């Protein structure tokens, strides 16, 4: 096994691992659960009540909150006509209904949803959230041995203004419930207060929240894979339900600080001033042709102890996933932005994002900003690139020696490989020296794969022919659809593929594939295979990769022609050859292994 084969196998293994982690597994999971999704939707539709809550089901699902209750009271429902009021500022307009005193619709004034009309042209409309008629948000309140659901109660509007409203209803002759909302100027935060006038419930209040997420983005596959329910337990890191399959997480006996229903770039979050308990969060996948993206279901309880003085305070954050806004709204709420886990998320949050914010102060075009980010990242990792070029230059200087060995042992591949390793050892050259710097850069590439489709600042930002840098660019539309490729052609992805082939050509000119010709073809085949995948990748990423390849090509050409002198390198290698060699290490072990394989092969030949 020669140097090229080792490098090839390492790179292929790394590529396959990345492919499997970020692309293949989600596709396989989606295929496996497609039928299950349809069954879940049917069962869910049949199970959701339209008007009142069945008492037996309510008692079973809410034991801890209403242990002393026997039924849900529907006699308290007022016959007053439903009314709506809107609280608004320069960012958001929130419509509330007197039926249930709940949020009926949220309009984000600064954001649009782009959709295709019947003729296939892009159309814009103001982005709406929490407006599906199937949505449910209700409080289940124990009163005199009964449980009253607020979902169907008609509240009286006690006072109302452009930024504040107060709803009131009677629960019993001794108790009134007042639900109030207030919206601040210049914020997406809606303050919410639950207040009892008169008798206070002596047990927990249960909350049911079923939220049908809207389709808001052009790239539905990204949106589905980045949408779920997130939550934060007290004194724990945030967690979430699966984004790619049905999932449910119950937190019995635990305290939760906030719960967030998250689209790719927007969220609706409820935040407690004193923690929720016994939360249960669930993601329900819906068929791809459904009217909604997903169904998010949440249940939790507000302990009776929180109603000291008869009231407790909550907050809603309903708006865009802007990092600074979320960070100021609640502890760790910014974690709902899917920047990735472990080292990749750390790179995005504390390296890539600060760099992006700094450049954004000076550059308006997000496409030009990406190009400048690419250049800066390339400068930062240049020491690794330099080592890779240096290793390639050493291999080029040794090529005449390697060619002599191949000519001498052309009929004995194992002897050829063993003698080649001896040459490497004599001249002090590491055949993997050009591979390791490449692998060390991979965490940055993987982090950037998550950064662009998760950063709202790139949403609907155009660059050249790309209309949205968080989605794939559509340069041409095919009259048919190709599996895994789609019916559209991304020009940035195509240019990346061509530039990768050019870069591969220049970087492999010093390599010899005579002992393993398959590796020669594989290195040209891989970019074509990845082009199929990147055709549906965020344009921001393919812009970055294409420009990065151009810089790699320039770096390789300039490096070979100006940075390294083959004659000087050869002289230095001759000097290394005269130095005493350190025993042990990878080369000696590899040489011993090759000798053992040669011995085994010779014994087999003798037996034959």
Q: Which helix (H) or strand (E) is 26 found in, with range? A: helix 25-47
Report how far residue 249's alpha carbon sits from residue 50's, in angstroms, rounded to the nearest whole number: 25
Task: Give me the helices (H) in 175-278, please.
Answer: 220-225
Q: Are 28 and 244 in contact (CB under 8 A)?
A: no
Tell me the pLDDT tens digit for each residue of 522-543: 777 888 888 888 888 888 989 9
In this prediction, residues 103-109 reach a mean pLDDT of 95
Nearest to 229 by CA among 251, 247, 205: 247
In this prediction, residues 491-512 reach a mean pLDDT of 80
Pairing of β 146-149 and β 72-73 = parallel
Would you give the DSSP letter of residue 202? S
Q: Which residues contact 191 (CB under 8 A, 6 or more apart)?
A: 181, 182, 183, 184, 313, 314, 315
**pLDDT given at position 144:** 82
Q: Quick check: 575 pLDDT over 50?
A: yes
Q: Which of 210-214, 345-349, 374-378 has the highest mean pLDDT?
A: 210-214
- Under DSSP, is residue 204 helix (H, G, I), strand (E, B) or coil? coil
Tell me the pLDDT tens digit for each residue of 130-146: 999 999 999 999 988 88
Would you give the DSSP letter of residue 99? B
Please report, rounded to a whole number, the percentage of residues in the chain having pLDDT higher than 70.
72
Concatenated DSSP letters for 511-557?
---TT-HHHHHHHHHHHHHHHHHHTTS-HHHHHHHHHHHHHHHHHHH
Phi, psi of 563 (to 5 degrees): -85, -35
CB neighbours of residue 56 within 10 Å:
10
Tell me the pLDDT tens digit for each residue of 456-500: 999 999 999 988 898 888 888 888 888 878 888 899 999 999 998
Question: How sure is the predictor about 577, in pLDDT bands with cuts at 50, 70 and 90?
Answer: low
Report how far residue 13's alpha carbon sits from residue 25's, in angstroms, rounded to the nearest whole number: 16
Tell me the pLDDT tens digit for each residue of 398-453: 777 777 777 777 666 667 667 777 777 666 666 655 555 566 667 887 888 889 88
Give Cα 340 to chain centroid, integer Å: 6
Report how far residue 141's alpha carbon sits from residue 149's, in angstroms, rounded to the nearest whole number: 6
Report how far residue 304's alpha carbon sits from residue 203's, in angstroms, rounded to the nearest whole number: 5
Tell me the pLDDT tens digit for each residue of 5-33: 445 445 554 554 554 444 444 444 444 44
User: Which domains does the chain possess?
Assistant: 48-338 (2.70.98.90)
Tell me the pLDDT tens digit for each residue of 580-591: 555 555 556 656
Q: Quick check: 219 pLDDT over 90?
A: no
**pLDDT given at position 2:** 46
- The pTM score is 0.75
Tell me the pLDDT tens digit for each residue of 370-395: 999 888 888 887 777 777 777 777 77
**pLDDT given at position 70:** 40
Average predicted confidence (pLDDT) for the chain: 79
In this prediction, residues 267-271 reach a mean pLDDT of 96
- Under DSSP, is residue 360 helix (H, G, I), strand (E, B) or coil? helix
Nearest to 366 by CA among 468, 474, 495: 468
Burial of 75 (0-12, 13-18, 19+ CB in 10 A): exposed
Q: Are 269 and 259 in contact (CB under 8 A)?
A: yes
Pick the residue with more confidence: 59 or 159?
Answer: 159
Q: Which helix (H) or strand (E) is 87 found in, with range? A: strand 84-88
Question: How sure is the predictor about 579, in pLDDT bands with cuts at 50, 70 and 90?
Answer: low
């Amino acid at each position: 096994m020669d140097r090229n084969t080792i490098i090839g196998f390492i790179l292929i293994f790394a590529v396959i691992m990345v492919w499997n982690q970020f692309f293949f597994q989600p596709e396989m999971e989606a295929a496996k659960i497609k039928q299950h999704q349809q069954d879940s939707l049917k069962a869910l539709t049949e199970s959701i009540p339209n008007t009142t809550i069945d008492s037996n089901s309510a008692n079973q699902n809410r034991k801890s909150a209403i242990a002393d209750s026997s039924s849900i009271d529907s006699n308290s429902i007022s016959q007053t006509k439903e009314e709506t009021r809107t609280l608004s500022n320069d960012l958001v307009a929130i419509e509330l209904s007197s039926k249930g005193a709940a949020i009926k619709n949220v309009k984000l004034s600064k954001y649009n949803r782009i959709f295709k009309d019947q003729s296939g042209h892009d159309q814009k409309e103001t982005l709406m959230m929490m407006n599906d008629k199937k949505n449910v948000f209700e409080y289940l309140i124990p009163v005199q041995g009964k449980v009253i659901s607020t979902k169907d109660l008609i509240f009286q509007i006690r006072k109302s203004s452009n930024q504040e409203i107060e709803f009131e209803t009677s629960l019993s002759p001794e108790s009134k419930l007042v639900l109030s909302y207030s919206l601040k100027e210049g914020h997406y935060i809606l303050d919410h207060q639950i207040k009892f006038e008169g008798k206070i419930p002596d047990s927990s209040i249960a909350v049911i929240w079923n939220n049908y997420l809207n389709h808001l983005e052009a790239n539905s596959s990204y949106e589905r894979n980045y949408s779920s329910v997130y939550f934060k337990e007290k004194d724990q890191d945030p967690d979430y339900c699966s984004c790619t399959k049905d999932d449910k997480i119950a937190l019995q006996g635990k305290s939760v600080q906030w719960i967030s229903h998250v689209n790719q770039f927007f969220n609706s979050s409820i935040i407690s001033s004193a923690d929720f308990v016994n939360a249960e969060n669930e993601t329900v996948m819906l068929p791809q042709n459904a009217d909604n993206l997903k169904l998010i279901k949440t249940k939790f309880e507000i302990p009776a102890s929180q109603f000291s003085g008869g009231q407790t305070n909550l907050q809603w954050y309903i708006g865009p996933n802007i990092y600074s806004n979320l960070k100021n709204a609640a502890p760790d709420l910014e974690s709902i932005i899917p920047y990735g886990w472990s080292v990749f998320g750390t790179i995005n949050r504390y390296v890539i994002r600060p760099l992006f914010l700094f450049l954004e102060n000076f550059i308006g075009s997000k496409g030009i900003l990406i190009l400048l980010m690419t250049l800066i990242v390339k400068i930062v990792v240049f020491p690794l690139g330099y080592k890779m070029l240096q290793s390639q230059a050493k291999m080029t200087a040794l090529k005449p020696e390697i060619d002599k060995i191949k000519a001498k042992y052309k009929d004995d591949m194992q002897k050829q490989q063993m003698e080649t390793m001896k040459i490497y050892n004599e001249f002090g050259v590491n055949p993997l020296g050009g591979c390791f710097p490449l692998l060390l850069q991979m965490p940055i590439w993987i982090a950037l794969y998550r950064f662009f489709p998760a950063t709202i600042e790139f949403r609907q930002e155009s660059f050249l022919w790309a209309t949205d840098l968080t989605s794939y660019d559509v340069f041409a539309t095919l009259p048919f659809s190709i599996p895994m490729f789609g019916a559209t052609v991304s020009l940035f992805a195509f240019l990346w593929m061509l530039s990768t082939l050019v870069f591969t050509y220049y970087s492999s000119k010093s390599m010899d594939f005579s002992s393993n010709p398959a590796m020669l073809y594989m290195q040209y085949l891989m970019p074509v295979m990845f082009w199929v995948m990147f055709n549906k990748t965020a344009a921001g990423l393919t812009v970055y990769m294409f420009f990065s390849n151009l810089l790699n090509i320039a770096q390789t050409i300039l490096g070979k022609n100006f940075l390294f002198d083959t004659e000087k390198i050869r002289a230095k290698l001759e000097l290394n050859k005269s130095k005493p060699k350190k025993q042990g290490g990878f080369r000696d072990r590899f040489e011993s292994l090759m000798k053992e394989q040669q011995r085994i092969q010779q014994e087999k030949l003798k037996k034959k």
